[in-house]
């Protein structure tokens, strides 16, 4: 009986007998001939490995092999054009590598290095309780981030608190004596010509570029403070006008009293 026949008998007879087996190539001396108690079959070699079946998978969401799908099937895919139709089943970078069928899709057994690092270090994050960072951009709900941005969220977001820190000055400068407040007539002419307030983005700008929340809050506060100055100015004008009205009323009343006295004196002289 040749060596190949002996190997085949060693491999298959224990399965027929419903037992466990261990296959050795003799490169690891001094070990037991018995398999590990938890293994159906154990392979032992110092310089050889298990060669998986080479197949060409078209995508990670479809079975793609002969026969019915079965969870636990492991293969080595050599198709570099393998696609991922489901974000839950991404492909290995480059496509080539081992995949296991989990009952729904092919799970890549080697997906590359962890892209997140532990804050303050250069070590890769390994636990979901670590404070993490990365130097690239992040897309949530989509697969692209517009140029110039670090985070893109496609869909709704919710937060209990959001802090935006600006590199520009907060608009308290509006209350400085050196601030040049536009005359209302100038504001009116600008609004008629452009259909929005000075310094504020137009509806077309917002539709195209979105809103910079920090900058928008700064501009809104600036306009509120400018409006406050306009109201203060108008209040002073109203108070001045009210004072003038009071003075005019007093003058009119004084004139009426004098007129009444003059008429009384004139009538008295006529009766003499």
Kindly report, residue by residue over 59-106, the tens digit of the pLDDT. Answer: 999 999 999 999 999 999 999 999 988 878 888 878 999 999 999 999
153-200 pLDDT, tens digit per residue, is 999 999 899 888 877 889 999 999 999 999 999 999 999 999 999 999
214-262 pLDDT, tens digit per residue, is 999 999 999 999 999 999 999 999 999 999 999 999 889 888 887 777 7
Structure tokens at 12: 């298959």
pLDDT at 6: 47
pLDDT at 191: 96
pLDDT at 155: 92
Give the span between the Cα atoms of 129 and 48, in whole angstroms.
39
Among 24-28, 31-35, 86-90, 198-202, the least confident range: 86-90
* Cβ atoms 100, 106 nearer than 8 A: yes
Q: Taking residues 20-27, what's their average pLDDT?
A: 92
Dihedral sign for Cα atoms in the order 98, 100, 104, 110: negative
Give the span between the Cα atoms of 3 and 134, in whole angstroms.
55
Give the span between the Cα atoms of 23 and 250, in whole angstroms.
119
Confidence of residue 270 (pLDDT cuts 50, 70, 90): low
Please give the C-alpha separations between residue 253 and each of 9, 136, 156, 243, in angstroms, as whole numbers: 130, 80, 68, 15
- Asked if pLDDT for residue 10 goes beyond 80, the answer is no
- Asked if pLDDT for residue 129 goes beyond 50, the answer is yes
Give the span between the Cα atoms of 217 and 223, in whole angstroms.
10
Give the span between the Cα atoms of 81 and 66, in whole angstroms.
20
pLDDT at 5: 47
Per-chain mean pLDDT for the chain: 87
Percent of the chain, pLDDT > 90? Answer: 58
Question: Strand ranges (DSSP E) for 78-197?
Answer: 97-101, 106-108, 117-118, 132-133, 138-140, 151-153
- Asked if pLDDT for residue 18 goes beyond 80, the answer is no
């Amino acid at each position: 009986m040749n060596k190949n026949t002996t190997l085949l008998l060693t491999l298959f007879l224990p399965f027929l007998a419903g037992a466990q087996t261990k296959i050795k190539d003799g490169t690891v001396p001094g070990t037991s001939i018995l398999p590990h108690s938890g293994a159906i079959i154990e392979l032992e070699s110092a310089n050889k490995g298990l060669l998986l079946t080479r197949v060409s998978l078209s995508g990670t969401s479809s079975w793609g092999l002969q026969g019915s799908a079965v969870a636990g099937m492991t293969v080595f895919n050599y198709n570099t054009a393998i696609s991922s139709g489901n974000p839950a089943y991404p492909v290995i970078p480059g496509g080539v590598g081992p995949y296991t069928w989990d009952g729904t899709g092919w799970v890549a057994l080697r997906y590359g290095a962890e892209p997140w690092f532990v804050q303050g270090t250069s070590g890769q994050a390994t636990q979901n309780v670590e404070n993490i960072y990365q130097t690239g951009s992040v897309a949530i709900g989509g697969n692209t981030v517009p140029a110039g941005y670090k985070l893109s969220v496609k869909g709704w977001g919710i937060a209990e608190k959001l802090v935006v820190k600006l590199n520009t000055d907060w608009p308290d400068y509006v209350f400085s004596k050196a601030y040049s407040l536009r005359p209302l007539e100038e504001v009116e002419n600008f609004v008629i010509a452009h259909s929005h307030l000075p310094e504020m983005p137009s509806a077309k700008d917002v539709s195209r570029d979105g809103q910079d929340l920090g900058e928008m809050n700064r501009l809104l506060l600036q306009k509120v403070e400018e409006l406050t100055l306009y109201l203060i100015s108008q209040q002073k004008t109203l108070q001045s006008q009210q004072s003038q009205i009071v003075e005019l009323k007093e003058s009119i009343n004084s004139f009426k009293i004098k007129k009444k006295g003059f008429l009384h004196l004139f009538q008295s002289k006529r009766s003499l």
